[in-house]
Amino acid sequence: MRTEAAISEATTDAQRVEIQALFEGAFHDIAPNAIPKVEHDHLYAPLVLRYHDPETGRLAGAALTCRSQVAISMTMMRRPEYAPVMDRHSELDLMAVAQTFRGRGIGGALVRAMEERLRERGVPIWFGNATRDLETTRLREFYTRHGFTVLPDGQPLPDLLGRSWVLPTAEQPAFFFYKQIKKG
């Protein structure tokens, strides 16, 4: 079975709770509400994908991309400058593959599936960052291999779509990455 065939979208709260548990096992400081509840989808426009191992049925990997916190915050403060780009960007917020399933191409399959779905949504800009507590050397290679522009350590994310996407109070990550999604 092709890896992509085992990927599906998490569209219910119960499915997202399972993904939250995977992320809590992968990251030491994950927020208990890191995965948006379905009732908040209108605000975050999330894309939550999951990979279940075809042999065991176990959740082996998952990823979340959604509107950036900057855009959501500005909109909630009734600042109009992000309104024109709300549906033109997505921030890769979380991605994890369970330790026992690493090295099987699951992460790459999740990225490809997310990019295709973002393309279908008409999203031209996709970006994210890697925090210092992660395996940054491996992640830098991974994102480069999947066509992202990976910035040097400490280099700020450039304005994309004419906007800044980093909260001024945010802790500086190890590195940022971004990609322009070409139309199909």
Q: What is the DSSP string of the chain?
A: --GGGGEEE--SHHHHHHHHHHHHHH-TT--TT-SPPGGGHHHH--EEEEEE-TTT--EEEEEEEES-HHHHHHHHTT-GGGGGGTTSEEEEEEEEE-GGGTTSSHHHHHHHHHHHHHHHHT--EEEEEE-TTS-HHHHHHHHHHTT-EEPPTTPPPPPBTTB--S-TTSPP-SEEEEEEPPP-
The residue with greater pLDDT, 183 or 12, is 12
Has this prediction a pTM greater than 0.85? Answer: yes
**71-75, 84-88, 159-163 — which is least confidently predicted?**
71-75
**Arithmetic mean of pLDDT over the chain:** 93
Domains annotated on the chain, with CATH: 3-180 (3.40.630.30)
